Amino acid sequence: MNRRDVSRALALLPLVRAGVTMPIVFSISADPVEARIIDSYARPGGNLTGISLFTLALVGKRMELMKEILPGLKRIAVISNSQHPGEMKERDAAQKSAGALGLSMRHYAVTSSAELEAALADIAQKRDQAILAFADGFTMGFAGRIAEFSLQHRIPVVDGWAPFAEQGNLMTYGPVLADVYRRLATHVDRIRKGAKPGDLPVELPTKLEFVVNAKTASALGIAIPPGVLARADVVIR
């Protein structure tokens, strides 16, 4: 994933609009209904099906994990790509979770490297204690830069995809991407055997993983509670 991969929805939309008739099996980080790629999850319609990584319940779980690691957490910043279909739903989910956890939340919608830099500068200036980055191709493309900022200002970051932690951020909680890609092959096989793509429900991830970068935690001066580490599927040392 690179910085041009703003959203997989943007790659799919031209195919949909062009009236491509061959079967399309996709994985997408956005809400495919809001992106107008499918009619519904249960019956996508047309010639498309696949897997959506868009799972609102995980937004709150990521915030809960950060609060568990930092019991004194009071202020959290959220970084998102405002062009990501479903972003407003994610923002609402984050706001509800923040309220339930007694956190104040400030949101930064960014669509470019310049906007990201402005957001990071403001986060540092306002002394936010942690960052939740919504998982998509855009934020993933800047994972290294966000990790650099995190270490410089000692502000831990949580996201949804393991590569984000592998690039130096504190932790991630979300789908096992390799499993998603394997499951796409099942869709392809069913279509090859005669199933219509539009009749195959768009699925959500079934396998999740919690990844903690212990090296980053040490650099940030954060002692991960043993109970949290015990729950991690992967610990990067």
All domains of the chain in start order, with CATH: 8-54+176-206 (3.40.50.2300), 57-174+209-236 (3.40.50.2300)
pLDDT at 9 (0 to 100):
47
pLDDT at 18 (0 to 100):
73
Find the distance separating the first CA and the last CA of the chain, reported in whole Å: 24
Each residue of 154-211: pLDDT tens digit? Answer: 999 999 999 999 999 999 999 999 999 999 999 999 999 999 999 999 999 999 999 9
Q: Which of 1-10, 22-31, 113-122 has the lowest mean pLDDT?
A: 1-10
Query: Whole-model pTM?
Result: 0.91
CA distance linking residue 165 with residue 144, whole number of Å: 9
Averaged pLDDT of the chain: 92
CA distance linking residue 68 with residue 165, whole number of Å: 18
Six-digit token string for 209: 């993983």
Closest CA to 202 of 27, 10, 20, 58: 27
Residues 64-82 have a mean pLDDT of 97
If phi > 0 it is left, if psi is from -120 to 50 it is alpha, else beta; for residue 46 that is left
Residues 6+ apart with CB under 8 A from 147: 157, 167, 168, 169, 216
pLDDT at 21 (0 to 100):
80
Give the percent of the chain with pLDDT over 70.
Answer: 94
Amino acid at 160: G
pLDDT at 1 (0 to 100):
36
